[in-house]
Amino acid sequence: MTRKYFGTDGIRGRVGEPPITADFLLKLGWAAGRVFANEGHGFVLVGKDTRISGYMFESALEAGLTAAGVDTRLLGPMPTPGIAYLTRTLRAQAGIVISASHNPYYDNGVKFFSVQGTKLPDDIEQKIERYIDSPMTTVESSKLGKAKRLVDAAGRYIEFCKASIPTRLDFSGMKIVIDCAHGATYHIAPHVFSEVGATVITIGAEPDGININDECGATKPEKLAATVLAYGADLGIALDGDGDRLVMVDHKGEIVDGDELIYIIAKSRLETGHLSGPVVGTLMTNLGMEHGLKKLGISLIRAKVGDRYVMEMLVEHKGVLGGENSGHIICLDRTTTGDGIIAALQIMAEMHNTGKNLHELKCGMYKYPQVLINIKTDKKVNPENDENIQKAVKAVEKKLNDSGRVLLRASGTEPLIRVMVEGQNGDLVRNYADQLADEVKRAIGA
């Protein structure tokens, strides 16, 4: 069954434009409630990030779930991985996240977690979609759902994060800067890292509803880099609006992306005998990471872009580590989904255990120059079906030979076509990327 509403990461779009409207979220809450009520008994958790529209959508989802006869526990602002954790440990029927992750404040979305703390199975999403397109009804008044606030949610998740590293580790003397992207980790991440002993300088922790991800966080780590240098910090941690992405900065102010962080964790797990299965990356994973892992005797397999697909391949191949260069890092030996705070703690633990700084740890792999160009489009375009685009791609691939890669794809979360070229020569890579971007613009009439 083709999905009508759900994408690779739930339902997402611009607030006020279908389907991200109050009436649709009311219907979505009811539809999900009907499915969950049919599947069993129990409550549903609802959490959100800090964008202003979260208040409206939280109320709409709560009303829909209530009308379907399902009890709700409201978490308030809570990182996406925290909601996954609480869904699992509280034995909730499901967890619902109101967030558009790294997108600007004027976007929002909804994604679901199962009782196992993983993304909902396809068949459950399909059942929800069928109810969305059917008339909404309300259960008899005595069977209406009830809603409560869960007041200790943040404390529970803070303790879970700290437990992801050995209690013997003490980060006293380590100075770190944390950028919370004015998002859902603003009241959690500073406590986690200070409670494990680090001296913490916090930025991006004053959400006002519209400043989430605004020139800060994992998608814009330049301010973090400047702050690390200004304070002479040992490292910087940049999270995104919902806390499932991580980008770091070393003491020299150099940005360390998801590929480099995954490499560091993979090497650490290998040396301690805790790495099993292959590491799972995506089509966007840098070729340098693949080569770096190969030198260690670790195989890399590539999934489609999206942490959902990374997770599927980890389960299929019995792996424990995977992620994306954007900073989604899944440590399946610690948690069930991408978690920026837990991934950062793994890196800090490796620094502590080896006595090396972050700059030294990342030097084990050489990143190939990679150019990514995002082209906005209002049209539904599949680059694979355009003859001229494919002709241009083949010409560039022939020039790169085996020393680089080309990837063109439509974004699953934004109205963009992404053009990526990587290779050993940075100037050539830029020229090839520009050529392909021009061809895509011609094809879509941009």
Q: In this predicted model, what pLDDT tens digit does every residue of 261-296 receive, in sequence order? A: 999 999 999 999 999 999 999 998 999 999 999 999
Q: Inform me whether the pLDDT recorded for 89 exceeds 70.
A: yes
Select 257-367's CATH number: 3.40.120.10, 3.40.50.10420, 3.90.79.10, 3.40.50.80: 3.40.120.10
Of 88-102, 216-230, 304-318, 394-408, the poorest mean pLDDT is in: 394-408
pLDDT, position 245: 97
> Mean pLDDT across the stretch 162-168?
97
Residue corresponding to tokens 């069977």 = 143
Whose tokens are 């967890």? That residue is: 95
How far apart CA 148 and CA 150 sit, in angstroms, is 6
Structure tokens at 263: 């490499």
In DSSP terms, 179 is beta-bridged to 203, 238
Give the 3-state DSSP-derived string for the chain, with helices as H, strands as E and coil as C: CCCCCCECCEEEEECCCCCCCHHHHHHHHHHHHHHHHHHCCCCEEEEECCCCHHHHHHHHHHHHHHHCCCCEEEEEECCHHHHHHHHHHCCCCEEEEECCCCCCCCEEEEEEECCCCCECCHHHHHHHHHHHCCCCCCCCHHHCCCEEECCCHHHHHHHHHHCCCCCCCCCCCCEEEEECCCCCCCCCHHHHHHHCCCEEEEECCCCCCCCCCCCCCCCCCHHHHHHHHHHCCCEEEEECCCCCEEEEEECCCCEECHHHHHHHHHHHHHHCCCCCCCEEEECCCCHHHHHHHHHCCCCEEEECCCHHHHHHHHHHHCCCEEECCCCEEEECCCCCCCCHHHHHHHHHHHHHHHCCCHHHHHCCCCCCCEEEEEEECCCCCCHHHCHHHHHHHHHHHHHHCCCEEEEEEECCCCCEEEEEEEECCHHHHHHHHHHHHHHHHHHHCC
In the chain, % of residues over pLDDT 70: 98
CB-based contact 250:277 (threshold 8 Å): no
Q: Give the separation between CA 140 and CA 417, rounded to whole angstroms.
A: 48
Reply yes or no on whether the pLDDT at 242 is more than 60.
yes
Catalytic-labelled residue, pool 53, 99, 101, 326: 101
pLDDT (tens digit per residue) in 115-136: 999 988 889 999 999 999 999 9
At 442 the pLDDT is: 85
Q: Where are the domains of the chain?
A: 11-150, 173-255, 257-367, 370-444
Residue 274 identity (one-letter amino acid) = H
Is 370-444 the same fold as 11-150?
Answer: no
Q: Is it the case that residue 434 has pLDDT exceeding 90?
A: yes
**Average predicted confidence (pLDDT) for the chain:** 94
Share of residues in the chain with pLDDT > 90 (%): 83
Q: What is the CA 314 to chain-centroid distance, rounded?
A: 16
CATH 3.10.200.10 for the 11-150 domain, yes or no? no
Specify the pTM: 0.91
User: Could you tell me the pLDDT band of residue 381, with boundaries at 50, 70 and 90?
Assistant: low
Q: Residue range 339-348: average pLDDT?
A: 98
Task: For residues 147-160, give the mean pLDDT.
Answer: 96
Q: Tell me, what's the pLDDT at 361?
A: 97
pLDDT at position 269 is 97
Q: Which of 22-26, 66-70, 167-171, 408-412 has the lowest mean pLDDT?
A: 408-412
pLDDT above 90 for 41: no
Residue 1 scores a pLDDT above 60: no
CA angle 79, 84, 87 (to 5 degrees): 120
Query: What does the pLDDT read at residue 8?
Result: 77
Q: Which CATH superfamily is domain 173-255 in?
A: Alpha-D-Glucose-1,6-Bisphosphate, subunit A, domain 3 (3.40.120.10)
Closest CA to 177 of 253, 93, 237, 134: 237
* pLDDT band per the 50, 70, 90 thresholds, residue 15: very high
Kindly state the tokens that stand for 386: 């355009």
- Kindly tell me the burial class for residue 86, based on how many C-beta atoms sit within 10 Å of its own C-beta (0-12, 13-18, 19 or more): buried
pLDDT of residue 384: 77
Beta strands 94-98 and 44-48, pairing class: parallel
Catalytic site residue 59? no
Over residues 176-208, the pLDDT tens digits come to 999 999 999 999 999 999 999 999 999 999 999
Tell me the C-alpha distance between 58 and 76, whole Å: 9
Per-residue confidence (pLDDT) for residue 372, from 0 to 100 = 92
Domain 370-444, architecture per CATH:
2-Layer Sandwich (3.30)
pLDDT of residue 380: 67
Mean pLDDT of 368-389: 83
- The whole-number pLDDT of residue 416 equals 85
